[in-house]
Structure 1
């Protein structure tokens, strides 16, 4: 019986090869696209799940409201981890991570600049699942000047994973003993490092400073601990330990501090929420965004639905032509259940073939998708464990849905009605098909509007006046490696032809090099007269090199010794001060964590606000101080031959320190990297929208062909009576265009609302323009008309004699 079903199904599908090809192609394209998006979503949702205790790991964030700024940090005070372990029985283990920027690591005579370096407590391996292949995880990071490295790093430096006991030289003279080798950290981790240095090496880890938030602190709670109840204890922890220091610094009780509208609180975030739901200051890496997971998840569902709608539309359209077949088979004694099985078998066969084609296509397109999305997704055994059952379920569900109409509806016809031709209602009778066409184009129009809005916002970000000029600015990193020779390097670069400006500091608008401090307007350190600001050390060429505008006062000058106690503030800081003219006003900056000493500065200038953080957030206060910081050297170039000038700068570097790596970037590229997620999203959105439209057009093409076929004799009569090609095309097109217009009316408010929600994630954004909606509507109508016209013109040009010769 099953063999007969398959044989009949193959014969029927071959007989209608055109519609079968459209069905298979449309469904395969939709399934392949859906699979790629599912791979992306699964990858994003899998971050940090490699940790066996992931459900019990939390990170401590600091929520600070002070000096006119309300900010949450991914970091916390140094003594917090020890306090958790000593005072709270709910905590099984706690660990701190501390970023210190890049290090130079010696390999033979070569100094390699390594950025993936972190300091960690010895409890790291008790909290996180980082399998050690050499060494003892319980002892590896206890002693100072010890380091744990990854498997790949061990092979890179020692050509073996048996590196325990060997020595690495950091920053020319710091010797670290290798005490462990771990497997490479999974890419699906919110932090990923090659070198883990012992925390006991740094004095800062031993400080009892509760108002210095430089450590990323994680706690592993014991089994069965109620997180909400544990979190409710955190305010009392801060009152107990931070309170006395607050009293010493500001001469305020913690209660009075909070009563003044300030906040200094701890909050716990689950480990599994960090990658997608946390984009704070002091993150260990650039995280993802849960919004994009939701958006791409919805797009995957939409594309799959459109592909299924196509399949159902064409299946139901062709089913009317098979009504006579059903009638004949019933007259010959075929039972309804066998007819149902026959139609379902045909549907399942088409779905199965489409799924196989889709899987093969997704496999070969995966490298291209990885390149576009910045991912490194691969098909492996673990992927197939969930993918194969999912695909089988897809075959069954889609096959059943697409075959259900002809199977259950047509199989219920009375043979006498079918054979008399009473059931031939043509295209206009297909209310279900019309609704599905509206649904298809509703989704397509929503995606078109979304794509245009995303493109518009990305263009706005790239062209917005940021308050500084990042064009043709070369940033040489790690200038501190030159030591006393850094000034020599700066002065020699400054003399090169084509160099119009040079400034030496790591505090740049496009870097993550930051320093936040509370600055007070009075010696008494009154919190009501405080400004929480970024305090950056710059030289007297900073403003001119980056083209930052002064609105009041003057720039720093190397000819004025008093400028060592001078400040330049931005407009936001000036507003928060609440004074009409801040020039020559004094500000007091604590010089240590306990504010036992402070230094008086005088304001000599006010600069225009410039965006040094993401355009998702408003500009915050910035205070520039005059001094030396050799974190980086920024070079303003003005030459047509950048490659040649770059070579000269590199030669200057090598002449001073031939063994140190020359590392650089361009400020434009650094800025673009901050919005790489949005750029990738925009590119992927454009591709998926195009595929959605193609899939929708395939279905529309098939339906137009079917409609023209159903009305062949009508078209022949109209042509005999004098109708021209334009009349015929208009007649065949108007029914479809009406459906597209209905879809436009429904889609516009939905797309408008969805994209307004997305734009709210940006403090600086471009409003949705009216032309976006008009263009999306025009494109939808144009695409539909072009698709339909191909079949309509073909039908209109046909010889009417052929269609009427049997009448």
Structure 2
């Protein structure tokens, strides 16, 4: 019997090639989109799951509130990891990780710039699943001046993974012994380093400071339920170990500190939550967003539902062609059950073909999708082991869902009625089909609104006045390698034609580097009038090079020696402190110990710089203090030339004169700025693509319904033409019902789209407001697309010869 169903299904599908092609294309587009999104979502959800003990691993975070200043850190104090393990028996292991920053590594006569280097405690390897290839990984980082390499790094520097015992040189002076080689860390990890250097090699890691946050700290618990016990005891623990230092530095006890409205707290983040639910200061890498996972999961489901709806609509659209077939089959003895199985077998067959085509399309499109989404998704054997069974389930579910309504609808035709040419009720009477049209276009309009809002927000980010000029600013990022000659290098660059100005500091609005210090409004170090700002060391050329404006006072001056104890604050800091101008204002910084004037540094506020965005536009501009200092982390050069390649050649020549063996490492500030919002830009592009696909698939369904409506009203159209109706009036008549449904979809989708996109915009401190025209454009676009789609079938039906439509066979 099954063989007969399949044979009949193949004949029927082959007979109606146009219908089969449209159905296959619609389902293939829907399933391909769904499959790509599923791979993206699974990749996002799989972060850190490669760790065998991932459910028992937690990161310790710090929360600080000082006056009105508040900050959330992914880093903690130097002695925390060791002390936690000693205090709590249920902590089986603890470890710290601290990125080492840009480092130069020798390979023969070559010097290679490496950025994926971190200091780590030996406990990193028992906590995380980082399988060893060679060396005793449990003790590999016990001694100072030791390093563990990943597999690819060992091959890169030694052409083999048998590198234990060999020496690697950092920054032309520090020799490290290779004590272990591990397998490459999976891409789905919230950290991805190539070198793990022993924490013992970092002297400051042994400091017993409880008010500094510098180290990502992890604990492995005996049981994940112990996390509640640990979390509950952390306030007492922190009071015990940080109270004495707080009394010395702030002149108050821990209890007094909290009673004043401030707090210093610790909390835990499960390892599984870090990638999607953490955006703290000091993250080891840019994290994803659970919000986007939810959004794309919803889009995948919606597109798949739209594709299924299309299948129903296209199947019922050809009901007139198959009505007599049903009637003849019933007269010849076919039961309704057999007819249902017949139509479902056709649905299953089309779905199977569409799924196979979608799988092939996904494989072909995966490299392009990886580039678009910034991913490295690979269809491995383990992936296929869960993906292929799911695809078979999809075939059954989608086939049954998409084919059920046509099967039950067509099999319900009465033989006498259909053999006389009378079909069931027309288009207007079908509540289900009307609902499906509204459902399809509500989704499409919502996606159009989302696309317009995301595009406008990204455009706002690109064009907003940030308080500094990032255009044509060259950033030489490894200037610190020049050591004492960095300042001379900067001076020689300033003499080049086309160079307007230059500044030397690693603290830049696009660098991502930060440094916080506590300042007080008076010498008594009154905590209620304290300030916890970003504190950057800059030179006298920093403000003019970046095109910033002074709101009051003046910039630093090389000629004024007193500027060594001067600071410039931004408008946010001035507002917080109540400074209306820069005249005769002071700030104090504690040196620790007794809270007396002799143990503080006094700074004169000489200027107030206009606020500038030095972090993501998701965050408000925080208070900032600029100090005159000698930071040679980078050299930034403001250029003004039409021949940039020639200028870059001259810059490289100057660099070679100071460092012939080391390649210059540079970028442009506008590119660094764009990199901050690369995630949003990628999401925006993906959103646009899937919106277009959803609209295309929805239009296929509308195309099917238009064909259905035209079939139902063929004789009515013929009579109207005989009575003198022209093509325009007939097209308007056929389109009117659909346009009403699309307008209803606008009314459904507009408030939903406005609400959800406003929720998304709330993540940005600086954002657009959704204007009425966004809703209007989305609705008009949907109406236009729908009308064009409907008109094709309507014009075709209106141009039929009435003789053919009115004759009774």
Secondary structure of the corresponding residue to residue 58 of structure 1: strand
| Alignment-derived partner of residue 799 in structure 1 | 801
| Alignment-derived partner of residue 690 in structure 1 | 692
Counterpart Cα distance in 2 of 1:408 and 1:797: 33
TM-superposition CA deviations, 1:428-471 (whole Å, max 9, x none):
33322111111100100000000000000000011111111101
- When the two chains are superposed, the root-mean-square deviation of aligned CA atoms in Å is 1.6
Which stretch of the first structure deviates more once superposed, 629-638 or 11-20?
11-20
Cα distance change, pair 307–735 in 1 and its aligned pair in 2 (3 A) = same
| Alignment-derived partner of residue 601 in structure 2 | 599
Shift of 1:540: 0.3
Shift of 1:16: 2.2
Counterpart Cα distance in 2 of 1:744 and 1:579: 51
TM-superposition CA deviations, 1:319-352 (whole Å, max 9, x none):
4543433332222222332222111111111111
> Is the 2:351–2:395 contact (alpha carbons within 8 Å) kept by the matching residues of 1?
yes
TM-superposition CA deviations, 1:627-647 (whole Å, max 9, x none):
110000000010011111111
Q: Given the alignment of the two structures, is residue 706 of structure 1 paired with residue 713 of structure 2, yes or no?
A: no
TM-superposition CA deviations, 1:544-586 (whole Å, max 9, x none):
0001111111111111111111000001111121344443322
Secondary structure of the corresponding residue to residue 96 of structure 1: strand
Which stretch of the first structure deviates more once superposed, 276-285 or 100-109?
100-109
| Alignment-derived partner of residue 575 in structure 1 | 575
| Alignment-derived partner of residue 649 in structure 1 | 651
Cα distance change, pair 721–415 in 1 and its aligned pair in 2 (3 A) = closer
Q: What runs of 5+ residues in structure 2 fail to find an aligned partner?
A: none
Counterpart Cα distance in 1 of 2:620 and 2:789: 46
Which stretch of the first structure deviates more once superposed, 362-371 or 702-711?
702-711
| Alignment-derived partner of residue 680 in structure 2 | 678
Which stretch of the first structure deviates more once superposed, 333-342 or 234-243?
333-342
Shift of 1:363: 1.1
Cα distance change, pair 636–592 in 1 and its aligned pair in 2 (3 A) = farther
| Alignment-derived partner of residue 481 in structure 2 | 481
Shift of 1:424: 3.2
Which stretch of the first structure deviates more once superposed, 288-297 or 312-321?
312-321
> Is the 2:317–2:711 contact (alpha carbons within 8 Å) kept by the matching residues of 1?
no
| Alignment-derived partner of residue 752 in structure 1 | 754
Counterpart Cα distance in 2 of 1:796 and 1:695: 25
Counterpart Cα distance in 1 of 2:653 and 2:452: 46
Which stretch of the first structure deviates more once superposed, 211-220 or 413-422?
413-422
Secondary structure of the corresponding residue to residue 768 of structure 2: coil
Q: Given the alignment of the two structures, is residue 94 of structure 1 paired with residue 94 of structure 2, yes or no?
A: yes
Shift of 1:591: 4.5
Secondary structure of the corresponding residue to residue 469 of structure 1: coil
| Alignment-derived partner of residue 151 in structure 1 | 151
TM-score, normalising length: structure 2: 0.98
Counterpart Cα distance in 2 of 1:30 and 1:385: 22
Shift of 1:19: 1.6
Q: What runs of 5+ residues in structure 1 fail to find an aligned partner?
A: none
Cα distance change, pair 594–662 in 1 and its aligned pair in 2 (3 A) = farther
TM-superposition CA deviations, 1:375-418 (whole Å, max 9, x none):
11111111111211111111111111222224334435554454
Q: Given the alignment of the two structures, is residue 52 of structure 1 paired with residue 52 of structure 2, yes or no?
A: yes
TM-superposition CA deviations, 1:681-731 (whole Å, max 9, x none):
110111110011111111111221232233223222222221111111111
> Is the 1:22–1:702 contact (alpha carbons within 8 Å) kept by the matching residues of 2?
no
| Alignment-derived partner of residue 611 in structure 1 | 613
Counterpart Cα distance in 2 of 1:775 and 1:115: 46
> Is the 1:317–1:427 contact (alpha carbons within 8 Å) kept by the matching residues of 2?
no
2:723 to 712, 721, 724: 721
> Is the 1:313–1:703 contact (alpha carbons within 8 Å) kept by the matching residues of 2?
yes
> Is the 2:313–2:705 contact (alpha carbons within 8 Å) kept by the matching residues of 1?
yes
Counterpart Cα distance in 2 of 1:620 and 1:188: 32
> Is the 2:519–2:590 contact (alpha carbons within 8 Å) kept by the matching residues of 1?
yes
Q: Given the alignment of the two structures, is residue 584 of structure 1 paired with residue 588 of structure 2, yes or no?
A: no
Q: Given the alignment of the two structures, is residue 195 of structure 1 paired with residue 195 of structure 2, yes or no?
A: yes
Cα distance change, pair 673–43 in 1 and its aligned pair in 2 (3 A) = same
Shift of 1:419: 3.9
> Is the 1:454–1:682 contact (alpha carbons within 8 Å) kept by the matching residues of 2?
yes
Counterpart Cα distance in 2 of 1:226 and 1:93: 13
Q: What are the residue-to-residue correspondences of 1:125-274 with 2, within 5 Å?
A: 125-223=125-223, 225-274=225-274
Secondary structure of the corresponding residue to residue 427 of structure 1: coil
Cα distance change, pair 681–431 in 1 and its aligned pair in 2 (3 A) = same
Counterpart Cα distance in 2 of 1:314 and 1:224: 52
Counterpart Cα distance in 2 of 1:106 and 1:548: 40
Secondary structure of the corresponding residue to residue 601 of structure 2: strand
> Is the 1:489–1:652 contact (alpha carbons within 8 Å) kept by the matching residues of 2?
yes
> Is the 1:78–1:208 contact (alpha carbons within 8 Å) kept by the matching residues of 2?
yes
> Is the 1:22–1:699 contact (alpha carbons within 8 Å) kept by the matching residues of 2?
no
Q: Given the alignment of the two structures, is residue 121 of structure 1 paired with residue 125 of structure 2, yes or no?
A: no
Q: Given the alignment of the two structures, is residue 557 of structure 1 paired with residue 569 of structure 2, yes or no?
A: no
Counterpart Cα distance in 2 of 1:691 and 1:593: 65
Aligned residues: 807
Counterpart Cα distance in 2 of 1:593 and 1:185: 44
Secondary structure of the corresponding residue to residue 218 of structure 1: strand
Counterpart Cα distance in 2 of 1:409 and 1:715: 25
Shift of 1:70: 1.0
Counterpart Cα distance in 2 of 1:718 and 1:317: 22
Which stretch of the first structure deviates more once superposed, 762-771 or 324-333?
324-333
Q: Given the alignment of the two structures, is residue 382 of structure 1 paired with residue 396 of structure 2, yes or no?
A: no
TM-superposition CA deviations, 1:210-255 (whole Å, max 9, x none):
0110010001111254322220000001100001111111221111
